[in-house]
């Protein structure tokens, strides 16, 4: 295992003999058959069966969801309930196909069928209401393409289109054209909303703080900071050209944390969804720059989705780990991995905040003493 491996085995390990025996037991078809007929075991057996089915077929669910987003079906149903005929006309599909799609949508709790009308269900409305979610669903088709041949993907032998979608990772703004910049800024800005909410709920800051958001893009996170802490002075440090075109209260400081030192004079520096874009080496260099820029008692806030520490989880260890891998330079880390680097750099009083929604973000605070 690599030095910074996220995987820290539990101290008590299963005996190999027992592990082999138990797996041979589960694999045995007669045992499976018997288990499905016994009162208690049949429940476990059915649950496992459903979970395996879900694992095998989840990609179909994802594509059904994508169809609802791409055809605007959710929006049409938000406007008002529709008949199948009406929806078929709007989507440009055959009536039979629309019926099939609607039944699938009901099964996924996106929509409801009542008499002869199709209604938007709560889940569908939530998807529309959460900023950035329809756009995220839409852009996942790029990752989906990258994963078509998973063996080649994990071998690093297939091209990764997601890495082209997020060109700023390479830090070369002159290779990024305006439409690419607008595309990623828009998605980042919209998907920032929930991250900012959870981050700002986790921490409290003094009113008169001076706060620099490094890699803050269009300032969407800082907008939320000002909204919650109106007296805080805010600044964003990011690559030239990434600042918002709308007027904001935040000072924008153009620069690259690869080449430039970070500006001083801020009590708080935040890195929101920045570390997971970069290699361990870059992260260590960046955190060293943050440490140098902060005054004594200055605070660092790191907020991004993370791996499960001892227990790999469904968000960090599946989706985000694969997503950042597809970006070539990225790496999702566990809270302890990030804390280890923070300690090496010199930070102390490191605190991992309990996250209400680890699929949105986990927040770590650290101080320069």
Ligand X SMILES: C[S@@+](CC[C@H](N)C(=O)[O-])C[C@H]1O[C@@H](n2cnc3c(N)ncnc32)[C@H](O)[C@@H]1O
Q: Which residues bind ligand X (CB under 6 A)?
A: 168, 171, 188, 192, 195, 215-217, 220-221, 238-239, 242, 256-258, 272-274, 277
Residue whose Cβ sits closest to ligand X: 215
Count CB neighbours of 82 within 10 A.
Answer: 23
CB environment 152-185: b (16+ within 10 A), e (fewer): ebeeeebebebbebbbbbebebeebeeeebebbb
CB of 267 to ligand X, least distance (A): 19
CB of 170 to ligand X, least distance (A): 8
Rounded Cα distance between 232 and 242, Å, is: 22
Q: Based on CB atoms, which residue is closest to ligand X, 105 or 217?
A: 217
CB of 356 to ligand X, least distance (A): 18
Q: Based on CB atoms, which residue is closest to ligand X, 110 or 212?
A: 212
Q: Based on CB atoms, which residue is closest to ligand X, 45 or 185?
A: 185
CB of 27 to ligand X, least distance (A): 43
Sign (positive/negative) of CA torsion 124, 126, 127, 131? positive
CB of 263 to ligand X, least distance (A): 12
Distance of alpha carbon 334 from the chain centroid: 14
Count CB neighbours of 334 within 10 A.
Answer: 24
Q: Based on CB atoms, which residue is closest to ligand X, 3 or 259?
A: 259
Rounded Cα distance between 252 and 263, Å, is: 11
Q: Based on CB atoms, which residue is closest to ligand X, 68 or 211?
A: 211
Q: Based on CB atoms, which residue is closest to ligand X, 3 or 281?
A: 281
CB of 361 to ligand X, least distance (A): 9
Q: CA dist 216 to 51, 206, 220, Å?
A: 39, 20, 7
The closest of 159, 163, 167, 222 to 189, measured between CA atoms, is 222
Q: Based on CB atoms, which residue is closest to ligand X, 68 or 168?
A: 168
Radius of gyration of the chain (CA): 24
CB of 327 to ligand X, least distance (A): 9
CB of 303 to ligand X, least distance (A): 8
CB of 238 to ligand X, least distance (A): 4
For β-strands 348-352 and 299-304, DSSP reports them as unpaired
Q: Based on CB atoms, which residue is closest to ligand X, 84 or 195?
A: 195
Q: Based on CB atoms, which residue is closest to ligand X, 81 or 215?
A: 215
């Amino acid at each position: 295992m690599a030095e910074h491996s996220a995987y820290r085995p539990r101290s008590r390990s299963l005996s190999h003999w027992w592990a082999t025996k138990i797996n041979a037991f589960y694999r045995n078809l007669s045992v499976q058959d018997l288990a499905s007929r016994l009162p208690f075991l049949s429940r476990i057996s059915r649950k496992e069966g459903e979970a395996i089915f879900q694992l095998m077929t989840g990609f179909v669910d994802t594509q059904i969801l994508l169809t609802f987003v791409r055809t605007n079906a959710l929006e049409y149903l938000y406007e008002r309930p529709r008949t199948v005929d009406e929806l078929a006309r709007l989507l440009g599909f055959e009536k039979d196909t629309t019926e099939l799609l609607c039944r699938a949508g009901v099964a996924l709790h996106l929509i409801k069928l009542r008499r002869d009308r199709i209604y938007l269900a709560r889940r569908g409305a939530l998807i529309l209401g959460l900023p950035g979610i329809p756009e995220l669903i839409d852009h996942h088709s790029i990752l989906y393409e990258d994963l078509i041949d998973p063996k080649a993907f994990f071998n690093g032998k297939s091209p990764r289109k997601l890495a082209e979608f997020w060109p700023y990772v390479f830090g070369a703004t002159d290779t990024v054209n305006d439409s690419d910049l607008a595309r990623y800024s828009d998605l980042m800005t919209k998907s920032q909303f929930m991250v900012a909410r959870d981050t700002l709920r986790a921490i409290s800051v003094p009113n008169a703080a001076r706060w620099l958001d490094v890699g803050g893009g269009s300032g969407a996170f800082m907008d939320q900071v000002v909204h919650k802490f109106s007296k805080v002075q805010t600044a964003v440090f990011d690559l030239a050209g990434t600042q918002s075109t709308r007027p904001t209260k935040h000072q924008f400081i153009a620069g690259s944390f690869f080449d430039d030192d970070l500006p001083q004079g801020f009590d708080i520096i935040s890195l929101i969804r920045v570390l997971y874009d970069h290699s361990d080496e870059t992260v260590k260099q960046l955190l060293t720059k943050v440490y140098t820029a902060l005054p004594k008692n200055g605070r660092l806030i790191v907020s991004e989705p993370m791996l499960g520490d001892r227990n790999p989880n469904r968000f960090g260890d599946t989706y985000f780990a694969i997503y950042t891998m597809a970006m070539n330079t990225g790496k999702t880390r566990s809270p302890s991995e990030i804390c280890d680097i923070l300690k090496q750099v010199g930070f102390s009083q490191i605190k991992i905040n309990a996250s209400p929604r680890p699929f949105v973000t986990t927040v770590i605070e650290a101080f320069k003493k």
